[in-house]
Amino acid sequence: MNDTVDELKQVMAEADCLVDEAQVYAAIHRMADEITEQLQDTNPLLLCVMNGGLILTGQLLPLLKFPIQAEYLHATRYRQETTGGILEWKLRPDIDMTGRKIIIVDDILDEGTTLCAIADYCKAHGADDVVTAVLVDKQHDRKARPDLKADFTGLFVEDRFLFGFGMDYKGYWRNAPGIYAVKGL
């Protein structure tokens, strides 16, 4: 266990801070304003993608100044690893989506496979429209679709292995107060 804790402390000590805490909060406030402007009259259902979307959702909800219903789901491709695998549903949403506008909130748009699968699931279960909100869009050309982008994006960052503000390194450091990149990954 101490080897793990020491490794995790070293990862943080060596990490590059790409976006500091103040910049992250400013991005979240801007996202909240954009979401409010576009969705305030649509009776949306917000679905938080666990575990990564937890911090962003927790920060966004009090800033949304309109009635909104919030639920969660858990789908992952990473399972505390540093590379993605096959999508695994740990918990599907248990709410009627028929005729609803859905906003999916997650920490990062990397390749987009998870977000696309969740959006497809919502549409297949009767959602009228599905939009996405992510804190970070990682800039590269490996997206699930060439034109894939979130409807609401807080930050655009370089293509590195990221952690902090919901994103994790081997299950840890979701609590880091900014967006960090692991040295060497």
Q: What DSSP assignment string belongs to 81-106?
A: SSS--S-EEEE---S--TT-EEEEEE
Please give the pLDDT value at position 85.
56
CATH class given for the domain over 22-159: alpha beta
d(CA 43, CA 97) in angstroms, rounded, equals: 11
Q: What is the pLDDT of residue 88?
A: 81
Q: What is the pLDDT along the chain (185 residues), one digit of tens a residue?
A: 566 999 999 999 999 999 999 999 999 999 999 999 999 999 999 999 999 999 999 999 999 999 999 999 998 765 555 455 577 888 888 899 999 999 999 999 999 988 998 999 999 999 999 999 999 999 998 988 888 999 999 999 999 999 999 999 999 999 999 999 999 87
Domain boundaries, the chain: 22-159
pTM score: 0.91
What is d(CA 130, CA 115) in angstroms, rounded to the nearest whole number?
10
User: In the prediction, which pLDDT does 78 show?
Assistant: 58
Helix (H/G/I), strand (E/B), else coil: 72? strand
